[in-house]
Amino acid sequence: MLFSIDERLSRIPGLVHGFGRGDLTEEGLRTFALGRGLRLVLLDQIHSDIIHIIEEAPAGRLPGDALATNAPGLLLAVKTADCLPVLLADFRLRVVAAVHAGWRGTRLRIVEKTVRAMAGRFGTDPADVIAALGPGIGASCYEVGEEVRSEFLSAGLPGSVFAPAGRPGKHFLDLAEANASLLRAAGVPEIAPAGDSGCTHCDPRMHSFRRDRDASRRMFSFIGLSS
């Protein structure tokens, strides 16, 4: 199988989603979408907190790092290679979102802002949101400097998402827990990794920029409403 799914999201009628592994290409995802009568929507990702709420497929790729919609027929997708993909679904009002959360977007609290954008535009109650965290770099592999830790703390993220890396001025960052803490702050009760999530840096089936640098490709995570 080219992608894994989250059990809770799979129980929502008409919802299509998945966390792509290394062998799911953009062409493959586009074919998957067309086969289900969906139009694929991708972003020009820029490590920001820019969120686009759309009702139809845009003419081109919008600059930003999150997409949200309540319109059937769109497949929202983000691409990652160590950064964290986050899929959100309001099961009551049928609103979905896809978020690209690297350390910069996490510092800017993009997942929290996406939940709030869903609430502001569609009336989403965060208590009705299911959040699925996809594969990203693991807490024991993501070494960052003191400047990243300082920026996170200044942005109000908990110091508990960092652990000593054993080298002066270096820390391990738990990117998944950082985003889970932001989702909890936004009032989202259901937060868990997808069943087949893992560390992109450790798993050779997945793409990792830290491991492979410029040779790294990207993985696609996606969510949409078919009806």
- For the stretch 62-79, pLDDT in tens is 999 999 999 999 999 999
Q: Is residue 214 very low, low, confident or very high in pLDDT (cuts 50, 70, 90)?
A: confident
- Could you give the angle at which helices 110-122 and 175-185 cross, rounded to 10 degrees? 30
Q: Is residue 49 very low, low, confident or very high in pLDDT (cuts 50, 70, 90)?
A: very high
Alpha helices for the chain (secondary structure H): 7-10, 26-35, 103-107, 110-122, 146-154, 175-185, 209-212
Q: Is residue 153 very low, low, confident or very high in pLDDT (cuts 50, 70, 90)?
A: very high
Q: Are 183 and 115 in contact (CB under 8 A)?
A: yes
Give me the pLDDT at residue 192, please.
80
Mean pLDDT of 181-202: 86
What are the structural domains of the chain? 3-139+190-225 (3.60.140.10)
At residue 109, does pLDDT exceed 60?
A: yes
Average pLDDT over the chain, rounded to an integer = 95
At residue 195, does pLDDT exceed 70?
A: no
Mean pLDDT of 83-103: 98
Q: Which amino acid is at 203?
A: D
